Amino acid sequence: MSSEVKARHPMTAGFDFEVAGRSGDARAALLTTPRGQVATPAFMPVGTQGTVKGMTPDQLKAVGTQIVLSNTYHLAVRPGVDTVRTLGGLHTLMGWEGPILTDSGGFQVFSLGHRNRISEQGVEFRNHVDGSPLLLTPESVLDIQARLGSTIAMILDECPAGGVSKDEVARAVVRTHRWALRAHEHRQRLELFEPMAVFGIMQGGTFEDLRRESAQQLLEIPFDAYAVGGVSVGEGREALLSTIGLSAPMLPFDRPRYLMGVGGLEEFIIAVDRGIDLFDCVIPTRNARNASLFLSDGGSLNMKNARHKQDSGPIEEGCDCLACTQYSRGTLHHLYQRKEILAYTLGSIHNLRVFHRFLENARKAILEGTWDAFRDQFLAALSSRSG
């Protein structure tokens, strides 16, 4: 334990993180927030624009959701921060009482690169709705997240695309650090509508030395926790998994470690094994809208396939979600073929339940000392199927 990195400062009042059990680097922990507790490892469904598509808050709770994610950039564009504030804040807007983490808009630096211009001041967007200008700075993104009423805010970072030169990634690391210092300084002046933790973000691309440099710089700034950013941005699958493995141990073991924008059962196994606690991505709901439903062994089904037309069995035997306990594959096939909205809701319920249940079982395995067997059994089955 003494050789592991520890945070050098307390968390914001009302927030706490306690590791309840470990197996190697994998750990089961409890993140406490003023909006409730999150048992980790945990997945955060993405509600980019103030809603997890096709899902009500009660449905989210029923599938095991503890915390959700929304997005600063998109909410600032529509409906606008003033509107969210007038409507009572983001929790009221979403009808969700639990913790909400808001992404700063840093990912949009990558995904909307053709619409933005990066400078030392920040990122100037021509927004994707009407082309009007929007300037995000390290200071303004915290102001926006505070006014939204976020439980956990992310700092603004520069997220370079996979495959760019090492020099470009190094420049992004330096700028991200300078922005982080500005964010921390501005944090002291924030008007808060409720307690808000702030997470720093590690950059560095696929380069281990840049990752280490970024982590060391972040640890000098008293953020509440730390995220691995700049992954799943086109770097290729092997590089993605390798970067996850080398990045996680560089961050404090006594604080949450959040892997941004990555989801999938194999990715969960690799990342949890290295000590990651929190995940998010749009895959469960996006795939559900495209009739791709996940299985707990890492496989998937295309519910539009004709072979499901008269199948009276559930999507997956043993799954306890609403879609599996009350509907058949044949029904889902019919709903998808007819483009019924219910299909997208039931598919999202199932996919999110698969993700949540997988991480619940991972947590249980860590606590019971059977993590190695859980990990190896899943990876062996995955390899057997793909082989």
Same domain, 271 and 322: no
What is the mean pLDDT of the segment spanning 215-240?
Answer: 93
pLDDT at 3: 64
Of 157, 273, 277, 280, the active-site residue reads 280
Same domain, 46 and 77: yes
Q: d(Cα 85, Cα 144) in Å, to the nearest integer? A: 10
What is the mean pLDDT of the segment spanning 204-233?
Answer: 95
* Domains identified in the chain, total number: 2
Is residue 12 situated within a structural domain?
no
Identity of the residue numbered 110: F
* Tokens coding 110: 């990558």
Q: Structural domain of residue 306, as residue ranges?
A: 288-379
**Does 16 participate in catalysis according to the annotation?**
no
**What percentage of the chain reaches a pLDDT higher than 70?**
98
Checking if the pLDDT of 21 tops 50, the result is: yes
Asked if 114 and 161 touch (Cβ cutoff 8 Å), the reply is: no
Of 283, 299, 326, the residue at which a domain comes to its end is 283
Same domain, 262 and 323: no
Asked if 342 and 54 touch (Cβ cutoff 8 Å), the reply is: no
Same domain, 193 and 308: no
Per-residue pLDDT reduced to its tens digit, 29-57: 999 999 999 999 999 999 999 999 999 99
Is residue 7 situated within a structural domain?
no
Checking if the pLDDT of 109 tops 70, the result is: no
Of 82, 103, 130, 320, the active-site residue reads 103
Q: What is the mean pLDDT of the chain?
A: 95
Same domain, 276 and 300: no
pLDDT at 196: 98
Residue of 76, 13, 82 lying closest to 50 (CA atoms): 76
pLDDT at 138: 97
Of 225, 260, 283, the residue at which a domain comes to its end is 283
* Tokens coding 264: 């999938």
**What percentage of the chain reaches a pLDDT higher than 90?**
87
**Confidence band (pLDDT; 50, 70, 90) for 376?**
very high
Same domain, 268 and 294: no
Is residue 386 situated within a structural domain?
no
Q: What is the C-alpha radius of gyration for the chain, rounded to an integer number of angstroms?
A: 20
pLDDT at 301: 98
